């Protein structure tokens, strides 16, 4: 969100579009496959039915669909927000999400004012770093005459998903091979919601100058493979992780070349 706001301030909306779409690729074709490869397979724990998992994945790739023709406007922003709200309501219906959040906020007294101050300082630092990321992306885009969308899609997306990537090394060090798939689905689905909100904040449509056809093919194909592997045995084997990682490498090569 902070990268997106900084991109809007600098009138470079293609940066947040590339970052959010690239984040989906990083999570499902890099982070989870790495955990499967180096952990000799990884078990995916979730309580979603086949239909709900398909719906969640479709909502996750929605920004890729909206960006297919390169033109993004207010209707796409509204649709992205509505899709994300639909996913939230689905979770709320099954798990009573809002009630649990309310209980944690009003009845949990474990936090202190010092904790709240640390959170506020953290938010400020995140926004300052995000401004630096956007400025650096614009600089290298102009220096090498490369689309800022492409830099965001390939490089910035890895940086903004470092928290998820760090979980791989922590899980391996703790020899914990179970992955709460809902955490990754939630992180990726949030990108759809943020995508919609940022478009609406921009207030007008814009055009992403990039050959997005091959990008969409890799994203759709990679997510389809992930679904097949995840539903087959509720886990991702080392061999399946290698296949997904290969798709990611081919994705990078195609984008760069």
Return d(Cα 254, Cα 64) in angstroms, integer: 16
The CATH fold assigned to 2-256 is: A middle domain of Talin 1 (1.20.1420)
Per-residue pLDDT tens digits for 84-131: 999 888 877 766 666 666 666 666 666 678 888 998 999 899 889 888
Rounded to two decimals, what is the model's pTM? 0.82
Pick from 135, 95, 94: which is nearest to 7 by CA? 135
Contacting residues for 63 by C-beta, under 8 A, at least 6 apart: 17, 20, 21, 24, 80, 191, 192, 195
pLDDT tens digits, one per residue of 179-238: 666 777 888 889 999 999 999 998 877 777 666 777 888 888 989 998 888 877 677 888
Cα–Cα distance for residue pair 149/21, rounded to 1 Å:
10
Tell me the pLDDT band of 245, cut-offs 50, 70 and 90: very high
pLDDT band at 243 (very low <50, low <70, confident <90, very high): very high
Domain ranges of the chain: 2-256
Nearest to 152 by CA among 126, 191, 189, 203: 191
């Amino acid at each position: 969100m902070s990268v997106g706001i900084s991109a809007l301030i600098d009138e470079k909306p293609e940066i947040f579009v590339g970052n959010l779409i690239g984040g989906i690729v990083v999570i499902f074709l890099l982070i989870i496959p790495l955990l499967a490869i180096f952990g000799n397979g990884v078990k995916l724990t979730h309580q979603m039915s086949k239909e709900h998992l398909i719906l969640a994945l479709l909502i996750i790739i929605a920004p890729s669909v909206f960006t297919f023709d390169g033109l993004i406007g207010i209707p796409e922003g509204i649709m992205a927000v509505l899709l994300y709200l639909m996913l939230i309501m689905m979770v709320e219906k099954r798990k009573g999400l809002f009630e649990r959040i309310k209980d944690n906020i009003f009845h949990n007294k474990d936090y202190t004012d010092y904790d709240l101050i640390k959170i506020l300082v953290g938010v400020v630092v995140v926004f300052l770093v995000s401004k630096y990321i956007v400025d650096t992306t614009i600089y290298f885009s102009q220096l090498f005459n490369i689309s800022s969308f492409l830099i965001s899609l390939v490089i910035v997306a890895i940086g903004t998903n470092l928290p998820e990537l760090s979980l791989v090394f922590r899980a391996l060090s703790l020899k914990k091979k179970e992955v709460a798939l809902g955490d990754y689905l939630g992180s990726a689905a949030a990108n759809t919601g943020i995508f919609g909100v940022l478009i609406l904040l921009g207030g007008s449509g814009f055009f992403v100058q990039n050959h997005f056809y091959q990008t969409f093919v890799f994203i759709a194909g990679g997510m389809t493979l992930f679904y097949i592997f995840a539903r087959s045995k509720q886990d991702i084997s080392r061999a399946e992780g290698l296949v997904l990682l290969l798709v990611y490498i081919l994705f990078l090569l195609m984008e760069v070349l």
